[in-house]
Amino acid sequence: MTEEQVKQRLRQLSMEIRAADQQYYEDDAPVLTDASYDALRKELVALETDYPHLVRADSPSRSVGAKPSGKFGKITHKVPMLSLDNAFTDQDVEDFTARIKRFLNLPEDTVLEFSAEPKIDGLSAALRYEAGILVSGATRGDGQVGEDVTANLRTLQTVPKKLAGTGWPDVLEIRGEVYIDHADFDAMNDAQIAAGKEAYKNPRNAAAGSLRQIDPSVTAERPLKFFAYTWGDISAPLSDTQIGAVEAMERWGFSVNNLMRVHKSATSMIGHYHDIESARSGLGYDIDGVVYKVNDLSLQERLGFVSRAPRWAIAHKFPAEKAITKINAIEIQVGRTGAQTPVARLEPITVGGVVVSNATLHNEDEILRLGVKPDDVVEIQRAGDVIPQVLRVVEDSKGKPFVFPRVCESCGAETVRETDAKTGRVDVVRRCTNGMNCPAQAVESLIHFVSRRAFDIDGMGEKQIAAFYERKLVKGPADIFTLEARNDEIKLESWEGWGETSARNLFAAINARREVDFDKFLYSLGIRHIGQGNANLLAKHYLAFENFYESIQSIEDELSGAWLELMAIDGVGAGAAGAVRDFFKSPANQELVNNLLEQIIVINAEAPSSDSVVSGKTVVFTGKLEKFSRDEAKARAQSLGAKVSGSVSAKTDYLVAGPGAGSKLKKATALGVKVLTEDEWLELID
């Protein structure tokens, strides 16, 4: 694949996954099977791993779930409800255990324990207990804020209203999965059909719809059950191990999965996975994989989290589903970054209970590799969002080869495959060179700007953006905020489909978004690799957009302090750092941001709450660290509220020096910076 093709493919994947997330989390009406969804996620992660500099600002890999619907009250999760990274092969599991040991700086032959349990296919929920009494219950929502479904969760017989036994913490948030088993689902559908109503599609949909009823009495009539498997906010530890904590939950009255086991090797974990896969059809409830977690809770704490998932856990998913159909045509879609993505229009076919008519072809190189063309019969794999993936040609139509266009489908400008100046590597994606002058790119960028996870402007959707852009009323984001001031000339209320009320509501919605959080503002700009996760990491580090903006603009080269500070943020890789630097160094982007800042106010991020002695301090690590890896050292410091920098300056509070420390140690000594050994650092933070 060319880089242009990769970019276009990432755009398509992002759109499909976001749509599927909304259908799954918000609408409770998924159109994709789990295998199809996972295939899309897997492809997305694989491409982002190979091409980190092409990661989209709106990448689903940087977010979890979907925004609460607004039908219920909201509950902010004190501990975010994150998702899990996925493994699809046995090798992925072996790589997972190897990564854990590398991060912890452990020898390869170290024996670590991992818990393994079935991954229930239901609706995630969090139950909060205070002094042993259930006080609230919430859905996952977007991971940060969920829906208040306390009254509904109280109706479940498997949800204790008062904890049993003794020894539970005063504050205990139990998390798990709400589901309907197969026997109850069949009975529900028999009753639906007997009443002349439409049958439920699957147990997960039925469970989600039942839990999110406005009337709790309706929920009470549904056969919902709850499996507990983890926890959120707690006032005291539950155990020293994952398995011990789950056993404690069972003593306190929760239903837990009896197939949970502890393993000491990837081989043993994989064997357990295949045993569960074989027994899957007889379990009586839906599962879509097996979850592995580091069993030692002290190691879980050391490992911490990346933007949307814990480092210490992974979901080993079951295989995707496949089918054979015909390609009727191949079309090119143009993305926000100009990427030209080929999409196969298929003879519609049902795969895993869902009718699909489109499949991704990724990029120009993939078309050549597959040798695919219109009228070929192909095998497809549905493991993701709306669009599945073409795997191979089953029957060659003997027609003319497909020629990838060298001009943009949207604007007719030349398309190119960029070459990395450092590596000489040619981008797999072919990209339009016309930038924001390309209507497709401009419109897609504006759509991203007003989207839910960005500025979230009600009434400003794809249709409205396209109309304003076509009439040359909105060419850039700042133009959105001047629409009302220009309405004497525009007269929006006189447009077809508009009226005084709808125009007034749109202007009110725009004005309601003149103040925006730092992380949402960063995300809205559509910078490559800066999704919600990275935007949040940057906001928490710099706190004020002014600080961030000034620091990034001061970067002169990769030896400058501002660059080293950016690179030192745990979770922000070189691709994301480079994308941020390049974006804010561009005069056109500086003008875009400055114009926006004239119309809006960016709200500072809150400093991480921590009573640690290093909270708010700037720390530099140098030399060879012997008791932990450099990655762990950075992650631990930042989890305690410290800022980790890659260079020593007068603003540095601590230099942690291991053997072999050189120029940084000399500079710290000259500046009077406090120098600590590893042991002294550990004593300080403990």
Q: What is the mean pLDDT of residues 629-652?
A: 84
- Shared domain check, 233 and 142: yes
- Shared domain check, 154 and 298: yes
Strands, DSSP E only, in 396-509? 415-416, 431-432
At residue 567, does pLDDT exceed 50? yes
Q: What is the mean pLDDT of residues 459-465?
A: 90
Q: What is the mean pLDDT of residues 418-443?
A: 81
**Within-domain flag for 382:** yes
- Shared domain check, 326 and 301: no
Q: What is the mean pLDDT of residues 155-164?
A: 94
* CB contact at 8 A, 116 and 294: no
- Shared domain check, 169 and 193: yes
> Which pLDDT belongs to residue 176?
96
**Within-domain flag for 439:** no
Strands, DSSP E only, in 68-210? 74-76, 86-87, 114-120, 123-130, 133-139, 145-147, 171-179
CATH of the domain at 584: 1.10.150.20
Q: Give the chain's mean pLDDT.
A: 87
303 pLDDT band (50/70/90 cuts)? Answer: very high
79's CB contacts (< 8 A; 6+ apart) are: 173, 232, 233
CATH of the domain at 9: 2.40.50.140
Q: CA-to-CA distance for 190 and 437, rounded, in angstroms?
A: 57
> Which pLDDT belongs to residue 29?
59
Residue count of the chain, please give it: 686
At residue 521, does pLDDT exceed 80? yes
- Shared domain check, 384 and 254: no
> Which pLDDT belongs to residue 150?
93
- Shared domain check, 257 and 186: yes
* CB contact at 8 A, 174 and 231: yes
Q: What is the mean pLDDT of residues 142-165?
A: 92
Could you tell me whether strands 287-294 and 114-120 are parallel, antiparallel, or unpaired per DSSP bridges? Answer: antiparallel
- Residue 431 parent element (H or E): strand 431-432
- Shared domain check, 266 and 218: yes
The whole-model pTM stands at 0.59
pLDDT tens digits for range 367-377: 999 999 999 99
**Lowest mean pLDDT segment, chosen from 3-17, 23-37, 498-512, 518-532:** 23-37
Q: How much of the chain, in percent, has pLDDT values that exceed 70?
A: 93
- Could you say which of 603, 626, 646 is where a domain stops? 603
At residue 68, does pLDDT exceed 50? no
Number of domains in the chain: 4
Q: CA-to-CA distance for 48 and 188, rounded, in angstroms?
A: 42
At residue 580, does pLDDT exceed 80? yes
> Which pLDDT belongs to residue 67?
46
**Within-domain flag for 212:** yes
- Shared domain check, 328 and 284: no
Identify the residue whose tokens are 């509950």. Answer: 75
- Catalytic residue positions? 119
pLDDT tens digits for range 207-251: 988 898 888 888 898 999 999 999 999 999 999 999 999 999 999
Exposed (0-12), middle (13-18) or buried (19+): which is 422, by Cβ within 10 Å? exposed
Q: CA-to-CA distance for 196 and 189, rounded, in angstroms?
A: 10
At residue 381, does pLDDT exceed 60? yes
**Within-domain flag for 409:** no
385 pLDDT band (50/70/90 cuts)? Answer: very low
- Could you say which of 378, 395, 412 is where a domain stops? 395
> Which pLDDT belongs to residue 625?
85
At residue 66, does pLDDT exceed 70? no
Greatest mean pLDDT among 8-22, 60-74, 462-476 lies in 462-476
**Within-domain flag for 410:** no
**Within-domain flag for 129:** yes
At residue 30, does pLDDT exceed 70? no
352 pLDDT band (50/70/90 cuts)? Answer: low
* Sign of the CA dihedral running 172, 139, 199, 38: negative
CATH of the domain at 625: 3.40.50.10190
At residue 571, does pLDDT exceed 80? no
pLDDT tens digits for range 88-138: 899 999 999 999 999 999 998 999 999 999 999 899 999 999 999 999 999
194 pLDDT band (50/70/90 cuts)? Answer: confident
> Which pLDDT belongs to residue 141?
87
Query: What are the beta bridge partners of residue 136?
Result: 128
- Could you say which of 307, 331, 354 is where a domain stops? 307
457 pLDDT band (50/70/90 cuts)? Answer: very high
Q: Reduce the DSSP state of residue 368 to 3 states and report it.
A: helix
- Shared domain check, 624 and 596: no
- Shared domain check, 271 and 192: yes
> Which pLDDT belongs to residue 25?
52
> Which pLDDT belongs to residue 531?
83
Domain that holds residue 259: 86-307
> Which pLDDT belongs to residue 495?
93
At residue 69, does pLDDT exceed 70? no
Q: Reduce the DSSP state of residue 8 to 3 states and report it.
A: helix
How many C-beta atoms surround the C-beta of residue 527 within 10 A? Answer: 22
- Structure token digits, residue 26: 């918000």
* CB contact at 8 A, 372 and 402: yes
Higher pLDDT, 43 or 373: 373
> Which pLDDT belongs to residue 232?
95
pLDDT tens digits for range 266-299: 999 999 999 998 888 789 998 889 999 999 999 9
> Which pLDDT belongs to residue 609?
58
At residue 63, does pLDDT exceed 60? no
- Shared domain check, 191 and 260: yes
CATH of the domain at 151: 3.30.470.30
**Within-domain flag for 428:** no
> Which pLDDT belongs to residue 24?
59
> Which pLDDT belongs to residue 387?
64
Q: What is the mean pLDDT of residues 439-454?
A: 89
> Which pLDDT belongs to residue 561?
86
- Structure token digits, residue 34: 């789990």
**Within-domain flag for 302:** yes
> Which pLDDT belongs to residue 569?
83
In the Cβ-directed half-sphere of 303, how many Cα atoms lie within 13 Å?
A: 22
Q: What is the mean pLDDT of residues 390-412?
A: 92
Task: Look at phi and psi of residue 423 and say left if phi exceeds 0, alpha if psi is from -120 to 50, else beta.
Answer: alpha
- Shared domain check, 335 and 273: no
Q: What is the mean pLDDT of residues 460-466?
A: 90
426 pLDDT band (50/70/90 cuts)? Answer: confident
